[in-house]
Structure 1
Amino acid sequence: MLKKLTTLALSTTLCTLSGVAAAETVESPLGNFDVSMTATLASDYIWRGQSQTAGEAAIQGSLDVAHESGLYAGVWASNVDDAAFPGNTSGADIEVDYYIGYGYGFTDDISVDLQLAKYTYPQASQWNGYEVIPSITAYGFTLGHKYGVETGVHPTYTWVGYDYELPYEITLSASYGLTDQKAGGEDYNDWSVGVGKTIFGLGVSLTYTDTDIDSEVCAATYGKDDYCDSNLTVAVSKSF
């Protein structure tokens, strides 16, 4: 898989960071394309520190195509639970995201990426939305910004992340993010730290996440106060 494709997980969930890099290179008159698919089974789907599956397991999958020029496109999908959405009446049970973008590496350690992502919920179109996502990565650090085009649907999100290779081919990942609600509501911070390793061809990860959302605010928004609690997520991924 081209290196730029590994950044796509940041627009979804940290669980997929442990995915095993694999891709099929396809030659064409227009240049070489890398095509890859990833399947993930996770104990939860965490988005900006909050469960999107009401604390239940998530099955996720992606298909990515990247051109040697740096252009790429892909689709990602996961189950969700409507109880994890404000109002508890959205009817959403699946999320399908589409994205296109361009990544450029100045050196092996410094790169930039610009992505346009569309988030769709077939049973709850009121949650559909777009985000413009620029990011820069340097020496293991990533600084990114997600601008939600639809005010109140996808709040603005700014994050910094860091990846570090530990001994025994274990990857340490950490992030800190700020959600700006824009249209009202409480802004909040989330953070995570996790480890991942390839075992028998599978990417295995363990990720701790938390937020500073007040339990009363969480209960008023989601109907329960535990959707914003700290979470320990286990994920297993396989790329083809």
Structure 2
Amino acid sequence: MFSLRPVFLACSLAAIVHSPAWAADTVADEGKADVAAEPASPHHISTNFGFYSDYIFRGISYARGRGAIQAFVDYSHDSGLFLGIGGTNVHRDALYGNTLEVDLYGGFSFPITDDLTITPGFLQFYYPDNEKIANQSPNVTEVNVAMNYKDFAIKYSYSLTDWFGVNTKSYGNTAIGHHTTGTGDSKGTNYIELNYNPALPFYGLSLLLHVGHQSVKNYAVADYTDIQVGVSKDFSIANSDGWNAGLSYIATDANDDWYVTSTGYKTGDSKFFAYIKRTF
């Protein structure tokens, strides 16, 4: 569960510089060796570190509006392969007493046309505290596939495991407000999202428009739709490049009786969200 941030990879191509024949002759005449330029490495590693006003995952707050610090390390290859690992704090009340989340993810991105890219991948949520609900683990494994066309992206995620420990033992046939939960496991829970992220023609800003729908297998009381509208900007501080900041408004129709902590904090309430991060 990491701040929803789809992974977009740019593949670098090495350029081979050819010297004209007369230049080669001149070098030879001077008795100097003609040294070929080394090709750029196909391997790329980047890191990013940021401060966030909350940990928002698919519209739901997991830091209770008290701020989050997140860091990620990403590896990519010119072939389209990518892998990453990251972490964020989680508020103890939001997820069964866990305080840390580690995300492992990867996939393969390949172009269909100049404007169309398909990216299958996986995402693993892991909680080192190992705090459980009714002895059911909150760890989740998802597979996903994304399609990017120009400034549009659509992504579908599918859970191979129970959704954060939701099953008959933990939540089955339980009264939630005016609703009764279902029974069975929650494998097959899915999330579909559509994002539009164009550059705006002023101040170097980018627009983000997002809509997503979470469907929890066998537990319809936990289904909801979320929307997000925001802007972001890349910038430099002194001679330091790689900075990015954003501000957005997030709203959901999540059931307040389900998406609520033990102390009464409604994690699906509408909220403003801001962040600043740097990529190295």
Interval containing the TM-score (normalised by the shorter chain): 0.7 to 0.9
Match of 1:37 among 19, 38, 47: 47
Deviation, structure 1 residue 191: 0.8
Which structure 2 segments of 5+ residues have no match? 15-37, 132-136, 165-186
Deviation, structure 1 residue 127: 1.0
- Would you say the 8 A contact 2:138–2:163 is kept in 1? no
Deviation, structure 1 residue 107: 3.3
More strand by share: 1
Equivalent residue, structure 2, for 1:173? 208
| TM-score (norm: length of structure 1) | 0.82
Structure-2 separation of matches of 1:186 and 1:52:
15
Instruction: Name the CA shift for 1:214/1:99 in 2 (closer, same or farther; >3 Å).
Output: closer
- TM superposition outliers: structure 1 runs of 4+ over 4 Å: none
Equivalent residue, structure 2, for 1:50? 60
1:72 matches 2:82: yes
- Would you say the 8 A contact 2:62–2:94 is kept in 1? yes
Deviation, structure 1 residue 222: 5.3
% identity of equivalent residues:
29
Equivalent residue, structure 1, for 2:192? 158
Aligned length: 217
* Bigger Rg over Cα: 2
Which fold has the larger relative contact order, with Cα–Cα distance below 8 Å and residues 6 or more apart in sequence?
A: 1
| TM-score (norm: length of structure 2) | 0.71
Superposed CA deviations along residues 23-57 of structure 1, whole A, max 9, x for unmatched, are: 9x9xx99x611110000111111011111111110
Structure-2 separation of matches of 1:182 and 1:176:
20
- Would you say the 8 A contact 2:121–2:145 is kept in 1? yes
Equivalent residue, structure 1, for 2:277? 237
* Cα RMSD after superposing both structures: 2.5
Spell out the pairing of 1:175-194 with structure 2 (5 A cutoff).
175-184=210-219, 185-194=221-230
Moved more, 207-216 or 222-231: 222-231
More helix by share: 1
Match of 1:130 among 133, 141, 157: 141
Deviation, structure 1 residue 162: 0.7
Matched letter for residue 163 of structure 1:
N
- Would you say the 8 A contact 1:152–1:183 is kept in 2? no
Structure-2 separation of matches of 1:225 and 1:52:
10
Superposed CA deviations along residues 207-226 of structure 1, whole A, max 9, x for unmatched, are: 2111012334434x655253
1:143 matches 2:154: yes
1:212 matches 2:218: no
Equivalent residue, structure 1, for 2:173? none
Which structure 1 segments of 5+ residues have no match? 1-10
- Would you say the 8 A contact 2:140–2:162 is kept in 1? no
